[in-house]
Structure 1
Amino acid sequence: AIRRTGMLRVSNTHELFAAVETLTHSVPLRGERLAIITNGGGPAVMSVDTLIERGGQLATLDDASIEQLQAVLPSNWRARNPIDL
């Protein structure tokens, strides 16, 4: 599922920075909307701020996406973007 959606998964900060470096040399993604998934409020806020500064916008989660996320995330997650695990 991760590969099919084009999502990139990293396990630590070293992988994160390596992935960011790799992405700077890749073909630009289509569209301006982005779903952000993070494990903390701070990184979520920084990601949203950077996205907006660069002219992007948060994607709206549709009902089907929310339903699928509810099946795997804790019951106290906020059903909106950014998704804070």
Structure 2
Amino acid sequence: MEFLLTVLASAVGGVAAGLIVARLTRGNMTGGLLGGMIGAMAAHFTLYPSGEQALPGLLVATLQGAVGGAALGLAAGFMMKKKT
């Protein structure tokens, strides 16, 4: 159960950060959402691949997800922006 909570906390942090970064840079919100989720999951499973053996706390998982989500949310928000 704790494993799912840390994954969920990481996902929430990543999605929120991705959407915020996309909004602040006037990027595509869908790109920010998808990039935030992918970045959060990539950061979480890269740092903690062993499952339930070594898990971060909820705050650490949220912050790590936010960092990964902001990075990929920024990139995806710009890549999916309409070309005018």
TM over 0.5: no
Normalising to structure 1: TM-score of the pair? 0.21
Give the TM-score, by structure 2 length. 0.22
Specify which structure has the higher proportion of helix: 2
